[in-house]
Structure 1
Amino acid sequence: MTTPRLTPEAVPPPGCPAHAGARRVERLYGAEFAADPMASYDRLRAHGSVAPVEIAPGVHAWLVTDYETALEVLRSPERYSKDPRRWRALADGTVPADSPVVPMMMYRPNALWTDGPEHSRLRGAITDSLGRVDPNALRGYVEHSADTLIDRIGPKGRADLLSEYGAVLPLLVFNQLFGCPPDIGDKLVDGMSGIFDADGDSEKANAVLTEGVADLVALKRREPGPDLSSWLMAHPARLTDEEMMHQLVLLMGAGTEPQQNLICNGLRLLLADDRFAGDLAGGSMPVDDAIDEVLWTDPPLANYAIHYPLHDVEVEGNLLREGTPLLISLAAANTGTGIAGDRRRGNRAHLAWSAGPHTCPAKGPARLIAAAALEKLLDRLPGIELELPVEDLQWRQGPFHRALAALPVRFPPIAPRDRLSAGREGTANPVLPSSTPPASTPTVRVPGSGGMPRRRWWKSLARRTYEP
């Protein structure tokens, strides 16, 4: 459906889409949106392939809800930039720097927020370093970490699979993948999860995150090892310390909160949807199908892939001003009329990993981690079921993610594995090969300071999991 053309006079400076005619501007935050985002997407689709939205109080943007239009934006770097320094409303102070969405949208010199040759240089360092990770060894470490967590919850017969499994597993895996000690890992995960929350202290979370990555870069300058951080540092792209920090933030952002959501949204589907729940004993196919279904209908990042028009551009009669944020609704685009439908089984043409030059470079490892986590849990807890009706589960608020607030379950209690045999199954460094890149730049001095006080038990658990 084509809307009437919005003239420049209809969109006051600096191009705020909130005043786009008399239409209702959907809010992509708050309890109503968190509970039923699909209702918002349905209303937005009535206005065509793009529509005005509010992503935080006073922060306005356009949202793409159509699959083909999303692909056109994602594949057109000559018309749409990823660089947030083009965001006019932030630059002129219309959007305050302390807005809760700014940490997820602000410029960082990383592969996500750059264009052209600079993007190619930074992305090349990431993809080359990720390519050194052995997927078979990665699966083994995920399974070992999953067993450790299941041993902890198994005797109790009930658990919150979000806080006790889905949120912890990426921490254990990424601590290992990055060669990251638990104390630094705790800062990284606390900071990253904090900037995803619309109602959290995003400035404080961003400070904790910055402190954690600075600590990690300083450590790897002193003590490089067979890990992703050291490989990035030794790459021919010759990343500076600041660039190192920001590539690590990008990788951490893609590998913790979204990974947690993929695992937990997959578990929710497997435990509650009759298409999957009745066939959990049938091997890995139900898990693979469930992951595909989640990536189509409830992708971990529902609305993101932010772009900025390089020039004023008209899309279906809507005038998108240069420098106005344009978000891609990966969830809405995936579920629009005529997209996949009943043909989603085995169909991976969804946009959950984005598309074009900024397609997620870690989609293979991300899917592997989620599949291994789901398979291990269902194998060891075969009688698991939700502790309350699926419609009573609560979703966290925020414009970007699709994230459960909790996932309470019950199951017949099980005994932990035999500690000696469990110890023989894991190794101190099972994920990465033994080659160690040389340190190529001097050590960075970082002032010490404390982290956030929550999740302390994760630290001790991480130490027990991967220290020899």
Structure 2
Amino acid sequence: MNHPQVPSPPVGCPAHNPGGVRMHALRFQEDPADLYGQLRREHGPVAPVLLDGDIPAWLVLGYREVHRVTTNPELFARDSRRWHAWDRIPDDWPLLPFVGYQPSVLFTEGAEHQRRSGAISDALSAADQFEVRAHSERVADELIDAFAGSGRAELMTEYASQVPLRVVARICGLEPSETADLERDMTASLDDGEGAVAAYGRIAAKMAELVQRSRREPKADVPSRMAAHPAGLSDEEIIQDMISIMAAGQQPTSNWIGNTLRLMLTDDRFAVTISGGRRSVSQALTEVLWEDTPTQNFIGRWASQDTRLGGQQIKKGDCVILGLAAANTDPQVRPDFTAGSAGNQAHLSFSHGEHRCPEPAPELAEIITKAAIEVLLDRIPDVVLSLPADEIEWRPSIWMRGVAALPVEFTPAHVSR
């Protein structure tokens, strides 16, 4: 990973602001919504924070401010080599997989970003959405068959974490035998533990193997389409972009499934219709994107020049974190779901602007998520939690929002498949 050696941050950046809150502190992980509210009250829509190792950054909490950042890529750019803190970043920094510059679509800008993101969109668009839905249902049925007869299951590890990876793996040309280790490494790379960097390295090696295989034996899959695309992508470009596709398709989608199931199993508004309620699934999916979005925070953008944002002085080279969860729950825009706002799609859960999730990735994620939930409720209509709702724990991550475990009970069902 390439990062230049540059001087320390200038006076005025959050490193010199005593109000900076440590994002890697346990409090941030346990009750982020409460902390977002406190930061908003104390600092307004943009707050000074400290990353691992007390590296300074700005967390954008306001909906309008996130919108401004994401629609001004020239001012708030994606190339992390602009960061003025690289001389303070150790080689084993946990967030290095997210911010260390690589030849990935995530760090490209301007015409180069259009070239790369266009190839990804074309490769994903060629996936038949009806086939994706059918395969999602088959995967869901296979997983449910494994626990249906027992009358109990832990839906995160046995179901929600596996459905999207198996579906995305098929779209990307991976064999079923290759998905177990990949799922483990994807989860580890997105958490805040010491193994994040090593897990990322294993993912990169697997994607390199996949790209080489696609060059030798092209198939109707995403890497083969990218290799043949008129954009003329190199192997390294495809490897890096496949990592982005796999990461975006697995953990956030798993959390979308898990968070939606949690909502439907704990909220009386959904419990009334849970046994029959296909109509309720769409409502729950949207509400989760607003209230418990799978990607809480996204790092990041780097200021290309001095500017002001949300009343704060942002210096050239400052790191800006998109607080997607905080923006979605900004009191100025937050929908009232008890008043029939379930169809409101103005959330920022897939980000915004030219660096948002490429089309049709959000649609594919929704197809997978909806299929997983509907098949589960069709097969096991009397599913209930095995513990009180207030005992459900969230994974300890400031970046992703997902329940750690979702134990359930139900009437044992016969497996006829």
Which TM-score applies when normalising by structure 2? 0.93
How far off is 1:101 after superposition?
1.3
Match of 2:79 among 80, 83, 101: 83
Q: How many residues align?
A: 404
Matched, 1:359 2:356: yes
| Equivalent residue letter for 2:345 | R
Contact 1:129/1:232 (8 A) holds in 2: yes
Counterpart Cα distance in 2 of 1:265 and 1:410 = 17
Which of 28, 47, 50 is equivalent to 2:46? Answer: 50
Alpha-carbon distance between aligned partners in 1 of 2:36 and 2:12, rounded to the nearest angstrom: 22
1:271-310 to structure 2, matched below 5 A, reads 271-304=265-298, 306-310=300-304
1:202 and 1:16 map into 2 onto residues whose CA distance is 28
- Residue 34 (structure 1) aligned with residue 29 (structure 2): yes
Partner Cα separation in structure 2 for residue 250 and residue 49 of structure 1: 29
Distance 1:78 1:98, change over 3 A: same
1:112-127 pair list within 5 angstroms: 112-127=106-121
Q: Hey, what's the Cα distance between the residues in 1 that align with 2:263 and 2:26?
A: 22
Identify which range, 66-75 or 343-352, moves more after superposition. 343-352
RMSD across aligned positions (CA)? 1.6
Unpaired runs of at least 5, structure 2:
1-7
8 Å CA contact retained: 1:30, 1:398: no
User: In structure 2, do the counterparts of structure 1 residues 61 and 377 end up closer, same or farther at CA, with 3 Å as the change threshold?
Assistant: same
Conserved 8 A contact 1:84-1:106:
yes
* Cα distance in structure 2, aligned partners of 1:51 and 1:184: 42
CA distance in 2, matches of 1:222, 1:187: 24
State the SS of the aligned residue for 2:241: helix
Please say if residues 184 and 216 of structure 1, whose CA atoms lie closer than 8 Å, have aligned partners that are also in contact. no
Distance 1:297 1:29 in 2: 22
Report the Cα distance in structure 1 between the residues aligned to 2:351 and 2:299, rounded to whole angstroms: 7
The aligned runs of 1:295-374 (5 Å cut-off) are 295-304=289-298, 306-343=300-337, 344-361=341-358, 362-374=361-373
Structure 2 CA distance for partners of 1:166 and 1:200, relative to 1, 3 Å: farther
Q: Secondary structure at 1:230's aligned position in 2?
A: helix
CA displacement at 1:108 relative to structure 2: 2.3
Query: Does structure 2 retain, via aligned residues, the 8 Å contact 1:185–1:212?
Result: no
Structure 1 residue 15, shift from structure 2 partner: 6.2
* 1:197 counterpart residue number: 191
Structure 2 residue 212 is matched with structure 1 residue 218: yes
1:241 and 2:235 matched:
yes
Q: Partner amino acid for 1:367?
A: E
Q: Contact between 2:276 and 2:381, CA under 8 Å: does it hold in 1?
A: no
Give ranges in structure 1 of 5+ residues lacking alignment: 1-10, 419-468
CA distance in 2: counterparts of 1:56 and 1:352, whole angstroms: 24
* SS at 1:256 equivalent: helix
Tell me, in whole angstroms, the C-alpha distance in 1 between the residues paired with 2:127 and 2:209: 23
2: CA distance, partners of 1:43 / 1:97: 33
CA contact (8 A) 1:139 1:372 kept: yes
Separation in structure 1 between the aligned mates of residue 194 and residue 51 of structure 2, nearest angstrom: 15
Measure the CA separation in 1 of the matches of 2:194 and 2:9: 31
Are 2:68 and 1:72 aligned? Answer: yes
User: Does residue 252 in structure 1 map to residue 251 in structure 2?
Assistant: no
**1:17 and 2:14 correspond:** yes
Closer, same or farther in 2 for the Cα pair 1:184/1:14, shift >3 Å?
farther
- Residue 69 of structure 1 aligns to a residue whose secondary structure is helix
The structural deviation recorded for 1:305 is 5.3
**Alignment-derived partner of residue 176 in structure 1:** 170
SS in 2 for 1:302: coil
| Structure 2 counterpart of 1:351, one-letter code | L
Tell me the CA shift for residue 32 of structure 1. Answer: 2.3
CA distance in 1: counterparts of 2:299 and 2:127, whole angstroms: 26
Question: Cα 1:186–1:221, aligned 2, differ >3 Å: closer, same or farther?
Answer: farther
Code of the aligned partner of 1:35: E
What residue in structure 2 maps to residue 377 of structure 1? 376
TM-score (normalised: structure 1) = 0.83
CA drift of 1:103 comes to: 1.0
Percent of aligned positions that are identical:
40
SS at match of 2:408: strand
Do the aligned partners of residues 289 and 12 (structure 1) sit closer, same or farther apart at CA in structure 2, a change above 3 Å counting? same
Say if 2:133 is the partner of 1:134.
no
Deviations 1:99-121 (A, max 9, x none): 11111222222222111011000
